[in-house]
Structure formats: C-alpha cells, structure tokens
Chains A and B, each alone.
Chain A
Amino acid sequence: DQQVKQNSPSLSVQEGRISILNCDYTNSMFDYFLWYKKYPAEGPTFLISISSIKDKNEDGRFTVFLNKSAKHLSLHIVPSQPGDSAVYFCAAATSGTNAGKSTFGDGTTLTVKP
C-alpha cells in the first residue's frame, strides 16, 4: 500500500521556467510534509516543509502548496535553474512521531535544460 505517490517519474523544463512537482497521499493522519532533493551519489537533503495548518510555504525560489481536501501537495520552483536538476522526494509524516515514521514517495527526476 503506497501511501505517498509521486506519479511523475520525470520532468523536464527549460531554464527560467517554472517546475511543478506533484505528490499525493492517502493517509489522513499525515499532517506534516517535507520535500527532499537528491543529487547522484549523495544522500537526500531537506528542501522545504509544510504543516497541515498552512496551505502554502515559501522559501526563496521554492514554494510548497498543500491541498488537504485533495490530499495533494506540490513543489514549485521558480525560476528553475540547471543546478536544480536532481531527484525530488516528497515525504509525509504525523507530527509528534519519530521522523523515521515518515513515508517517502519514490521520487521525481527533474531535469532543467539550459
């Protein structure tokens, strides 16, 4: 039972344009969501997060939107840069539980073309 899904295995965008990465979840107990970025041969690194009490969180070029009723979140990168090319993992958690209880999606590979 895959509780967190990233339905697009890959996404290609032109430099300067917007990248939109999507994530769906099924467990209504999840109330905290994180995005991680992973470069080849490196571990994932935390990018941005959002609590279910918000519907938007912004950090520089990165914005995460949460639609609780649809159980959907998205990561917007504007403008996209070639250095953003990486695998992006969505993760969902229940606040107050161990971070190891986070459930990860299987990632979306973003390629930003110069």
Chain B
Amino acid sequence: DTAVSQTPKYLVTQMGNDKSIKCEQNLGHDTMYWYKQDSKKFLKIMFSYNNKELIINETVPNRFSPKSPDKAHLNLHINSLELGDSAVYFCASSQAGIGEKLFFGSGTQLSVL
C-alpha cells in the first residue's frame, strides 16, 4: 500500500505542451511538497502546501502551478513546457512536528523534446 504515489512515472512530451503530474498521500500528513531533482542531482524544493494552503513557493517560473484539492492531494501543472524543465519531479509529504522527515513518492521523469 503505497504511502505517497505520483503519476505518471514517465512523461515524454514536446516543447510548448501543457502537462500535469498527480500526487496522493495516504499517510494523513498535513503538508505536501513538490521537489525537482535536476541533472546535478540536487533536490530542490519548489512548493509546499499545508492543509491546502500554499506555504512555500520558491523561485519557480509561474508556468508551474500547484493545486491542492484536499490535504491528501497535490498536483503539479506545467504550462508551455521548455527543454530546461526536463528533470525528475518528486512529490513528498510530512507531518509537522519536531524532526520532520519527508516521505517521497517514486518520482516522475519528465523529458521535454
């Protein structure tokens, strides 16, 4: 029973297209995140939502728009895809408290051609 699941696992698309990645967690956590792992392997926070409210919005182009219909779901929509958007995108969740640890999904490999 997957704790944090994201779909699709692979996404290959053309420049200029719009695509979405979905994420769901069944851990009952209050906070969800989107991370981007670039070619240099760094994991960088993009967005964080707490109980459907946006609380972290790092320097991300506004072509990226997260949407949280409820606290168990956080989707990522990307408009007008560019070559530089190619990366692995990870969804994660955590429960607020001392020593928060992140629970990650298995990632979505996005390739923009």
Contacts and interface: CB of A to CB of B under 8 A. Distances in A.
Contacts of B40: 106
Interface string B69-113: 000000000000000000000101010101111111111000000
B99 A51 contact: yes
Interface stretch (A15-23, A37-45, A60-68): A37-45
A34 interface: yes
Interface of A: 32, 34, 36, 41-46, 49, 51, 87, 89, 93, 95, 98-102, 104, 106-107
Given A98-B56, A100-B33, A93 B106 contact: no
A89 B50 CA distance: 24
B68 interface: no
A106 B43 CA distance: 7
Interface residues of B, number: 28
Nearest to B91: A43
A93 B45 CA distance: 13
Contact of B43 (A41, A49, A104): A104
18 contacts: A32-B99, A36-B102, A42-B107, A43-B104, A44-B43, A44-B90, A44-B102, A46-B103, A49-B101, A51-B99, A95-B98, A98-B56, A99-B100, A100-B31, A100-B55, A100-B94, A101-B45, A106-B42
